[in-house]
Each structure stands twice: as C-alpha cells, then as structure tokens.
C-alpha cells in the first residue's frame, strides 16, 4: 500500500459519524474527500463548517439510490477508496416505517456496489490493486446478549431484532457477496454505539443533554437496564481510516469503546455532570427530570464488542474513556447552540419518545 495522497468518496458524510470521518481525513492532509450525501433529516452541512473551504474537500448532494449519479461521480473523481456510511439508522423510525430502510440500506447499497464494481474493473495497475470499498455497519446486526455474559466477535452469527438492524444485516451480506462473487475488494466494520459532538438531537445522549437544558422530561425506556458499549465518535473515525487504508480485504473488524453502560447509568451521569457544569435555576438536581416510559418493541438487552482483532492487526484502540468523552460532549453542546438549536426548532420535537435510540 502506497502512502501517496488518496481520494476518498465518503457516503453519508453529512451525518454524525460521516462528518467526523470527513473532518479527520481532510484535516490530516493525506486525503481529498468527496462527501456524498442526500441531506435527509439527519444530514447537516453545518457539521462540516471546519473543512468546507478546504481545497481537498468537495460536497455532492447525491442519493446512493441514484445509480447514474454515482457512476458520474466515480468517473469524475476517480477515487482510491469508497467509505460507505450512508444509511437510515434510527431504530424507532424503522419500526414506524421500515420501507425507507430497505430502500436506502439495502437497495442503495446494492446500487453503490454495482457502480463501484464497474468502476474498479476499469482501473489499472497500482490504482486497481489498492482500491477498497469499506462498508460501515453496526453491532446491532448481531442481535442481543444476556446481561451477564457474552461478547460480539467478528464470528458472531447475525440475529437482527429490528427492521433497522435487519436492513443493515442484509447490506452486510450483499457486500460480502460482491466480494466472493465479483472479487470487489471490500473491507467491513461493525461498531458499537457512538457519541460525541455533532450528534443529531434525537439520539439518547444529545436528547438527554438538551431536554435537561430545556427543563423537559428525560424519558428512559423500561427500567433503563439495557446495556450498550459506548464509542467516542472521533475514536471511531480513527478506526475507520485505519480499516479503510490497512484492513485486510474480505475481512470485517469490530470497533468498540470498551465502555459498557446501562441506559440509566448514561442518563444519570449526564445529570451529574450538568449539575456541576450548568446547575438548574431552581436548585434541584437534573435527575429529578428522569421518567421511565414503556419499553419499545424488540429492544435488545445488551451489546458488547470484542475489539481484539482491530487492536492486534491495526494497532487501534479507544483513546477516550466514557467519562472523559461524555464530559467533552456535554461541554460541546453547552458551547454550540448555533449548531443544535436550528435542528431542535425546525426538525425535531424534544418530547418525541421515538428519539431515544440506544
């Protein structure tokens, strides 16, 4: 693998994880990034403000289901890598309307794979040898684990529980089918729950932070016992760059934060931090705003990632503890109302219980 400057198409680059990847790659100076995003409700170009004027960053408002547009962009930019993050990703939205998840996550991925294969077949020499299609997926494809035992490895059988995770499982299978059938050089990764700056306000951590600041109820599903492994988004972006550039073709890598927390623990830690950083005017604790609500259908009990493979092969491991990352995240939301307030007012109701993705 050469160390020359590379061109990367990042699909879904205006989303939470995608924007973190774009910022990392552009700011490294080693890549030209083409951000390809359809700008659905969760896409936000304000998340790319830090790099939008960089000469090695370009944006195209394109839907991955538009095969013709994808083909034209591949021909125009001649990428060395494609990192595929574009997806519908909200579990509760998938329960309300699964068809959109099939269209984007399955059909869109297949169209992108087809276009990438046609493009790759025409490449020559080193450009063809080094090309990678990196598909970014989720640990939710594995189903759930008992509260007290087990961990997801790259060999864990798929057992999705929601329309969202089923659509991502299907896309994973299509990616590997393209590798085995057509020889497309693919790498794949499955990550645990991400958190950090620029996280869309419907997801658990930003929802709780912003509801608390607005003195609104902090809704928690069931008894708050469901467990997730939390991964700071900037750590994840570093992992994705390593997998894209150095991962073994045909292999998948699990990426986790080694930070298992129950949903209730997450909410309580946010409340405790806000009590110190931004006390309530009435002198009460933010935890007084917590309210337990009816659990959602098919709510997986626990996810836990074994990230041994990526550490052993690529030398990656998380650098941020959950406590430090959460503190930094809260500080960011306190300081950046310019980013989240328009989303909160225009696209989203803070009382929507469907907002709690965990």
Supply the residues annotated as catalytic: 139-140, 164
Report angle CA 42, 234, 29 to the nearest 5 degrees.
100
Burial of 148 (C-beta count, 10 Å sphere; 0-12/13-18/19+): exposed
Cβ count within 10 A of residue 1? 10
Q: How many CA atoms lie within 13 A of 8 on its CB side?
A: 32
Among residues 320, 313, 303, which one has the least CA distance to residue 190? 303
SS3 187: strand
| Sign, CA torsion 35/40/42/47 | positive
β-strands 260-262, 227-232: how paired? antiparallel
Pair 174, 110: CB distance under 8 Å? yes
Among residues 38, 10, 11, 36, which one has the least CA distance to residue 25? 10
CA–CA gap between residue 107 and residue 96 (Å, rounded): 19
Cβ count within 10 A of residue 321? 14
């Amino acid at each position: 693998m050469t160390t020359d400057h590379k061109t990367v198409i990042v699909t879904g680059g205006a989303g939470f994880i995608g924007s973190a990847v774009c910022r990392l790659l552009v700011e490294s100076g080693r890549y030209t990034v083409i951000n390809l995003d359809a700008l659905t409700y969760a896409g936000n170009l304000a998340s790319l403000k830090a790099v939008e004027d960089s000469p090695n960053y370009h944006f195209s408002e394109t839907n991955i289901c538009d095969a013709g547009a994808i083909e034209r962009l591949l021909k125009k930019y001649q990428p060395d890598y494609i990192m595929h993050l574009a997806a519908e990703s909200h579990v509760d939205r998938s329960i309300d309307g699964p068809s959109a998840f099939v269209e984007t996550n399955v059909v869109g991925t297949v169209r992108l794979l087809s276009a990438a294969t046609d493009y790759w077949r025409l490449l020559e020499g080193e450009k063809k040898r080094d090309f990678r299609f990196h598909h970014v997926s989720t640990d939710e494809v594995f189903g759930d684990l008992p509260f007290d035992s087990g961990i997801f490895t790259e060999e864990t059988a798929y057992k999705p529980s929601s329309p969202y995770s089923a659509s991502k499982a299907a896309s994973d299978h299509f990616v590997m089918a393209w590798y085995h059938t057509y020889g497309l050089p693919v790498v794949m990764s499955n990550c645990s729950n991400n958190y950090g700056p620029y996280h869309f306000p419907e997801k658990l951590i930003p929802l709780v932070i912003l509801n608390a600041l607005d003195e609104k109820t902090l809704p928690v599903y069931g008894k708050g016992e469901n467990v997730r492994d939390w991964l700071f988004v900037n750590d994840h972006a570093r992992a994705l760059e390593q997998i894209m550039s150095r991962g073994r073709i045909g292999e998948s890598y699990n990426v986790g934060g080694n930070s298992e927390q129950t949903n209730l623990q997450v909410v309580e830690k946010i409340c405790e931090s806000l009590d110190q950083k931004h006390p309530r005017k009435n002198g009460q604790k933010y935890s007084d705003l917590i309210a337990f609500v009816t659990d959602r259908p098919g709510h997986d009990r626990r996810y836990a990632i074994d990230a041994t493979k990526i550490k052993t092969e690529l030398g990656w491991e998380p650098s941020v503890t959950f406590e430090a990352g959460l503190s930094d995240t809260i500080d960011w939301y306190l300081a950046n109302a310019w980013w989240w307030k328009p989303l909160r007012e225009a696209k989203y109701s803070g009382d929507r219980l469907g907002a709690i993705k965990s």
